[in-house]
Structure 1
Amino acid sequence: MSVAAQHQKQMEKKIINPWQWQNERSYVQAVEVINPKATLYISGQTAIDAHGKSSTEGMKTQLIKTIQNLEKIIEEAGFECNNIVRLNVYTTSTDDFFSCFDIFQNWISGHNIQQASTVLEVKSLFETLKVELEATVIR
């Protein structure tokens, strides 16, 4: 196959879900990516402002700011949120995170994101931070 023909192939995402229960939890079991043009690996994003100051707010406010920061990175890189294929969540309290899980789920469904995902409770994050989102996005 010629190089020109290879470049004309469209990127495809194939979702692998042997079960249905994960659908209520806003993630998929696996994502196969065929013919990606580029992959963006994003460092964990948190509720840090443009001047590098960590938020001291609660989980809900930090989650909203963290999502905004993640979107900014994706946009600046010329990618789209709907092409997030992996999204890991690190939180200092899964109870607090799941208490505002609707914000996360609404963001996921609003962008039609279908991502492999892991949620981990950690002892601490940088300074006063409560949640961190680490993503892989394809184009």
Structure 2
Amino acid sequence: MKKIISTTNAPAAIGPYAQANFANGILYISGQIPVEPSTGKLAEGIEKATHQVMKNLEAILSEAGLSFKNVVKSTIFLKNMDDFAVMNDIYASYLDAENFPARETVQVSCLPKNVDIEISMIAHQF
């Protein structure tokens, strides 16, 4: 049985999907873009955008009773791979260096709302 996870501390879904689904101890988080949930404004520039995406992911994890320590897999979509180093440093700062998740990072031609970054995650309740 799945449980839909939703919080006002992360942006509302902009389509027919849930922020996250919890099923059999696994949390599947939909891709998060750099929308500030209280204002609906986009964080601009890869530094601010990456921080905002990570804060949105953290809010969803928290709503499910989890943290970044529970994340087992991340998928990162970048509009420009030249932003990789900056994004990577910020992303790593939110995670436990002893417990990094599996990950792939891909460059894409366009993302929702024409943002520079989107990240989805899978977390496991240990």
Q: TM-score, normalised by structure 2?
A: 0.72
Q: Any conservation in 1 of the 2:43–2:52 contact (CA below 8 Å)? A: no
**Counterpart in 2 of 1:99?**
86
Kindly provide the CA deviation profile for residues 18-72 of structure 1, in whole angstroms up to 9, marking residues without a partner as x: xxxxxxxxxxxxxxxxxxx600000001111225735151011000000000000
AA of the residue aligned to 1:68: K
Give me the whole-angstrom Cα distance separating, in 2, the residues matched to 1:67 and 1:61: 10
Aligned residue pairs total 103
Give me the whole-angstrom Cα distance separating, in 2, the residues matched to 1:137 and 1:40: 5
Structure 1 residue runs without a partner (length 5+): 1-36
Q: Any conservation in 2 of the 1:54–1:128 contact (CA below 8 Å)? A: no
RMSD: 2.1
**Counterpart in 1 of 2:77?**
90
AA of the residue aligned to 1:84: V
Q: Give how far 1:77 is off.
A: 1.0
Give me the whole-angstrom Cα distance separating, in 2, the residues matched to 1:86 and 1:56: 24
Further displaced range: 91-100 or 63-72:
91-100
**Counterpart in 2 of 1:9?**
none
**Counterpart in 2 of 1:58?**
45
Give me the whole-angstrom Cα distance separating, in 2, the residues matched to 1:86 and 1:116: 5
64, 67, 71: which one aligns with 1:80: 67
Further displaced range: 112-121 or 65-74:
112-121
AA of the residue aligned to 1:117: R
Greater C-alpha Rg:
1
Determine helix, strand or coil for the equivalent of 1:90: strand
Runs of 4+ in 1 over 6 A off after TM superposition: none
Q: Give how far 1:94 is off.
A: 1.4
**Counterpart in 2 of 1:126?**
112
AA of the residue aligned to 2:51: I
